[in-house]
């Protein structure tokens, strides 16, 4: 079965490509390398021992995307990762986020409809919940206004998928996976997160600080209404998250879904504060981290973590990696990067 993976050279995408291949699928990568690097392809190849067909195109480019669908002839399903993903940056550059994240989905759906490809796994995010009234969030928790343009693009994309699927002539079947916070790297340390420039996300900032690339981690706010005053998130190991995609794709191909659009939280079901992550990293690495508490970051939700019951009951999916092991894999990856310059 051939699965097109947009953003397949990116952080989650590259791990999903590996898991798909190892589960017996034929992944095909589409990536414009705007926020990913060619070296991810070499990493994938080193792990699986094969080259994955790769198209260097922007999936918001209709003509280019059509060429991929034509060349590949029969695509059984698509996993759409390609998107901008930094909450803070989206507050600074909202138009770029709407254009890229919503625009690429619209183009992809047009081309999928034309080529009669009916299976889609869409990368959604826990940011669609906004600031929830109660924790943990279940898939039925009502979405509040998003706290950032990034979150709003994910809400809009979910709406687009629902409307397109509801159209009488459309045969689209979609699984929306609402990711919590992916961290860590493949155990081989051949692929992992490759932030371009100064990292926006917590864990790469931590590992770069520990490696001496950044001087000090700034914790974005210590005055939230949480037990230690710092934000709470649900940190899921990226390989666990990648495996959720394999299960979702299989469910679509088997036509097991109970509705044309199904939604699943993909998290561990546990919340950890930023300070807890810092402490766990210190334990995993045996190092002391240089950090201080700074001001709040615009667009941040104070606390969110998943109720992961539906994914477990319906998909049979459960995370396997602890926070400590996830952070250890992130540190191993950082050290490998450092050694290779």
Give contact residues for ligand UFG (rule: CB under 6 A).
Answer: 85-87, 125-127, 179, 181-182, 200-202, 205, 217-220, 231, 233, 274, 297, 300
Which of 150, 205, 235, 291 is labelled catalytic? 150
Min. distance of Cβ 132 from ligand UFG in angstroms? 12
Closest residue to ligand UFG, judged by C-beta, is: 231
| Count of C-beta atoms within a 10 Å radius of residue 277 | 24
Please choose, from the candidates 256, 326, 241, 254, the residue with its C-alpha nearest in 3D space to the C-alpha of residue 284. Answer: 326
* Contacts (Cβ under 8 Å, ≥6 apart) of 236: 179, 180, 181, 182, 183, 266, 267, 268, 319, 326
186 or 233: whose CB is closer to ligand UFG?
233
Min. distance of Cβ 183 from ligand UFG in angstroms? 8
Q: Report whether 304 contacts 151 (CB < 8 A).
A: no
28 or 304: whose CB is closer to ligand UFG?
304
303 or 328: whose CB is closer to ligand UFG?
303
Q: Report whether 310 contacts 259 (CB < 8 A).
A: no
* CA dist list (Å): 291 to 209, 219, 228, 275, 294: 9, 7, 15, 10, 9
Min. distance of Cβ 86 from ligand UFG in angstroms? 5
Task: In whole angstroms, give the CA distance from residue 302 to residue 185.
Answer: 26
Reply yes or no on whether 150 is catalytic.
yes
The sign of the dihedral angle between the CA atoms of 55, 19, 323, 175 is positive
Min. distance of Cβ 48 from ligand UFG in angstroms? 25
111 or 202: whose CB is closer to ligand UFG?
202
Active site residues: 150
């Amino acid at each position: 079965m051939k699965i097109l993976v947009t953003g397949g050279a990116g952080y989650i995408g590259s791990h999903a490509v590996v898991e798909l291949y190892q589960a017996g699928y034929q992944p095909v990568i589409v990536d414009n390398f705007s926020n990913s690097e060619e070296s991810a392809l070499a990493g994938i190849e080193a792990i699986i021992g094969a080259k994955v067909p790769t198209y260097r195109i922007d999936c918001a480019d209709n003509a280019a995307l059509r060429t991929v669908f034509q060349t590949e002839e029969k695509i059984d399903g698509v996993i759409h990762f390609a998107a901008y993903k930094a909450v803070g940056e989206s507050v600074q550059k909202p138009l770029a986020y709407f254009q890229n994240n919503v625009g690429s989905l619209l183009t992809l759906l047009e081309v999928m409809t034309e080529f009669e490809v009916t299976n889609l796994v869409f990368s959604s995010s826990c940011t669609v919940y906004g600031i929830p009234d109660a924790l943990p969030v279940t898939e039925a928790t009502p979405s509040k206004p998003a706290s950032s343009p990034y979150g709003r693009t994910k809400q809009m994309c979910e709406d687009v998928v629902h409307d397109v699927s509801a159209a009488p002539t459309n045969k689209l079947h979609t699984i929306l996976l609402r990711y919590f916070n992916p961290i860590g790297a493949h155990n081989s340390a051949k692929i992992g997160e490759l932030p371009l420039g100064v990292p926006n996300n917590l864990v790469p900032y931590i590992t770069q600080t520990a490696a001496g690339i950044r001087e000090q981690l700034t914790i974005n706010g210590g005055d939230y209404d949480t037990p230690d005053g710092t934000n709470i998130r649900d940190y899921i190991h990226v390989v666990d998250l990648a495996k959720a995609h394999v299960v979702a794709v299989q469910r679509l191909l088997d036509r097991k879904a109970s509705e044309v659009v199904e939604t699943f939280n993909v998290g561990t079901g546990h919340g950890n504060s930023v300070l807890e992550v810092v402490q766990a990293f210190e334990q995993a690495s045996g190092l002391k981290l240089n950090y201080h508490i700074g001001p709040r970051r615009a667009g941040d939700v104070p606390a969110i973590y998943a109720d992961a019951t539906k994914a477990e009951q319906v998909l049979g999916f459960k995370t396997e990696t602890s926070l400590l092991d996830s952070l250890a894999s992130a540190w191993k990856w950082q050290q490998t990067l450092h050694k290779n310059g």
